[in-house]
Amino acid sequence: MTLIHLFKCDEAKPACGNCIKHSVDCDFLSLDSPRSKLSPGPSQALDMSSLELLHNFTTRTYVTLSESLILRDFYRFSAVQRGLQCEYIMRTLLAISALHLAHHNVERRDHYQSLGMAQHQIATRDAMALITDPSPETAESLFLFSTLTIYFALACPRKDDGPLFIEESGFPEWMFLLQGTRAFMSIAGDQSNRLMAPLLNHGADRWFARQAGPDSSLDVANRHLTGMRSMIELRQSDAKLRNIYVRAIDELQKSFSILDRIGCEPCDLTDAFVWIFEVAEDLLPLLRVPTQEAVAIFAFFAVLLKRMEKHWYLHGWADHLIAKSYHLLDEEHRLWIQWPLQETGWIP
């Protein structure tokens, strides 16, 4: 018989008085101590769908979002890191990944599209609660959300009556999202040493590359755009509208010149969307009307997208936009877009 059996344990805590008095180990405490028990494991199962989407984004999708190696790393690392801190950013990344999988997996397309729509719907709800009153602290994440949402909107499935992101004018809403990014940039202030620096610096680099202007007056796109400019300058009596149209054409010529200089190299989406960003304040509101001149000018933008259809999220957009433009134009202004019709290969 051991010493501990010669007296009764009083089962006191944190230590049994009788056991301490007799200098023995207390069997009761050793059995009851929570330290001797294993911590219970997680009671909920892993969200395998979200893990699949995150894995796909960090291994495949991020590569498709830019030709810039720096921007690819930005989306793969910095954007995902911000997503770990900001749920609506993470959900938007997962939504883009889901649509990427839907594009390449025909058998499970409906499944992945449903996942993507659900994720972005929740992300939009959460972001909209902050958009009404953004602060310098939230503007940075909202800027990233707006940028990512452009990719999501481009990748959204299109139906016969138009895409899901659609304006009453018939033009897609992603074109107008760039107006919001400009506002968030202003509120966020100096980003040179912060999260968005790679994205903003890349945009600035592509903007400066455009400033060389058209390389040659013999370029086909520039010749057609110059002809349109001459018609507008001759016929448009409103000086303000005339200046808006002429500037939009000038900026569009810069975009075509960039693509011509690149040649056979892959085109970066930024080189096309800088034009949208440049004309967002002036021309895009005229597309909401829409005016005949604004639509005719925009039809040339479809040619830029046609040259970038290697990007999965741009597939079909050129034909979609040229068709929208054609149906909005009268017979006279349809003659202004014969070259874009030929370049895209779209047949009325």
> In this structure, what token pair is assigned to residue 67?
């030709």
**Which of the residue ranges 2-16, 90-104, 105-119, 136-150 would you say has the lowest mean pLDDT?**
2-16
Could you tell me the two tokens for 295?
């639509």
Contacts 24+ apart (CB under 8 A), 25-28: none
Span 32-73, pLDDT tens digits: 444 444 455 566 788 999 999 999 999 999 999 999 999 999
Q: Where are the domains of the chain?
A: 48-158, 212-344
pTM, two decimals, is 0.80
pLDDT tens-digit readout, 80-90 = 999 999 999 99
DSSP-derived 3-state class of residue 200: helix
Distance, CA of 24 to CA of 3 (rounded, Å) = 8
8 A C-beta contact, residue 113 and residue 95: no
For residue 290, cis peptide bond before it (omega within 30 degrees of 0): yes
Distance of CA 215 to the CA centre of its chain: 31
- State how far the Cα of 329 lies from the Cα of 290, in Å rounded to an integer: 10
Q: For residues 347 and 6, which has the higher predicted lDDT (pLDDT)? A: 347
Q: Which two tokens stand for residue 148?
A: 């990512």
Residue with tokens 């009083």: 10
Residue from 81, 82, 110 nearest 98 by CA: 110
Please say if the pLDDT value at position 163 is more than 50: no
Peptide bond into 14 cis (omega under 30): yes
DSSP classification of residue 163: E
Q: Is the pLDDT of residue 119 over 80?
A: yes
User: Which of 341, 238, 333 is CA-nearest to residue 292?
Assistant: 333
